[in-house]
Amino acid sequence: MTSGSSERVAVFGEPWPQLNEELTLIEFYSTKHKNSAPLQGWLQRIQNGQITVDGRVVNDPNIILSAGSELVYHRLPWKEPDVPYLLEVLYEDDDLIALNKPSGLQVLPGGLFQQRTVLNQLQWRASKQSSSLSSQASHPVPVHRLGRGTSGILLCAKTKLAKTCIAGYFADKTSVIDADSTVMELSQRKILKIYRALVPGIVDEDKVIIKQPIGIVRYPGVAKGLYVASPSGKPALSKVDVLERDVQRNCTLVQVEIQSGRPHQIRIHLAFLGHPLLGDPLYVAGGQPKSFDFEFADGTFAQDGGYERPVNPVPGDCGYYLHAYQLFLSHPTTNEVIKITAPLPSVLKTREEGREVDKSVGSERIRGIQIDSLP
C-alpha cells in the first residue's frame, strides 16, 4: 500500500521565542520541527517542493514568513510495511466496541503507519455501516492504547458520553496511585485490566507488587522521549501473579494486573523486577533500554529528508509476549459490570489451558465476529 499525505500543518503566528524578529522558512522548520528532520533534511524537502506557504509551493528556504501564514509540509508517498489486519470483535453495543488486536498492528496513525492501523479500520467499518443505514452511524475511537507488539483487548467508545466516561475511569485509576498505594479490588474501581506475559528466568515469589515510578528520558528516534524506570517519574503500580514456572525452558508465565496506565508499564515493571518480557528488543533488567549509545543507519538523513531509523530498538519494535487478556468495567450507561476476554495465544496458556479444547472465550454477552478486509 502506498500512502501520501499532508502530514504537518503549522500556522505561523503562534507563540514563538523570536516573535519580534524576522524568521525564514528554513529557520521555522529546522527549529520548530527539528524532531522530524535535521537542517539538511528540511532544506531537501523545501527544494523538492514539499512545502507550501498559503497554498503556493515555495522552493526558497530563506523566504521571510509573515504572521498568520499557513505552512503545510507534504510528505512523500511511502510503502507501509505489511501488518496483520484481522480484528475480532469481542463485545459490541450502542456505546462500546472491544476488539482483539493482533500483535504488530498499530492503534493510531504515526510514523510509517498511516493507513494500516486500528483507527483506520474502525473508520472504514463505520463508513460501511453508515452507507447501509439511514441513521447517523457512530464513529468509534480507541479510549486507550496498546503497544504495537501487544495483542489483546482494545476498548473503543462509540459515543462522546462513553468516551468521556471511560477516559474518567482510566484517569481515576491512575490518579489514586502513590508510593503508599495498595492493590484495590474490582469493587473499588470502575475498570480493571489483566494481562498475560512470558518472561525469561524463574520468578521466585508467587506474588509481587511493583511500585516503581516511570519517567521519561531523551532517546533518539523517539521524539517525545522514552519511558523508563525512574525514581523521579510518576507513580505506577502493577500486581504480578506467577501462573506457571517452566524450569526446563527457564521461563515463567505470569499474569499482571495494572492499577495505573503509564506507557509501556508492564514491560518496564517486569524488566525492573529483573525479568524483562521474553523477546523484548528494547527493555532490559532494571527497566532501562538496552543501550544509550545511539547509532543511526547512516550519518546524514533518510531519502525523505527525515532522520534515519536508529540501529538500536525503539518502543514500536515487536517480538515480545504480552497479551491484554481480560477487562472488567462498569458500563458507562447501564453501570452493569461487563467482563471481556480475549483468546490466549498458545504460548501464553498454562499447560492445563493448552489441553482444553474449544474453550469458550470472548465477551460473556456478545459472540465474536471478524472484520476481515482492509480499508
Q: Which cell numbers hold the place of 29?
A: 522548520
- Residue 120: strand, helix, or coil: helix
Mean pLDDT of 222-238: 92
Find out whether 99 and 156 touch, Cβ atoms under 8 Å: yes
At 249-293, the pLDDT tens digits run 999 999 999 988 899 999 999 999 999 999 999 999 999 999 866
> Cell 474501581 identifies what position?
189
Q: What residue type is 6 in one-letter code?
A: S
At 326-349, the pLDDT tens digits run 999 999 999 999 999 999 999 999
Angle at 158 between CA 155 and CA 162, to 5 degrees: 75
Pairing relation of β-strands 70-79 and 96-101?
unpaired
Give CA–CA dist 2/16, Å, rounded.
36
Terminal-to-terminal C-alpha distance of the chain: 11
Whole-number pLDDT of residue 95: 95
Mean pLDDT of 157-171: 91
Whole-number pLDDT of residue 278: 98
> Cell 522552493 identifies what position?
59
Q: Name residue 125's beta-bridge partners.
A: none
Q: Is the pLDDT score of 357 beyond 60?
A: no
Q: Which cell numbers hold the place of 75?
A: 510528505
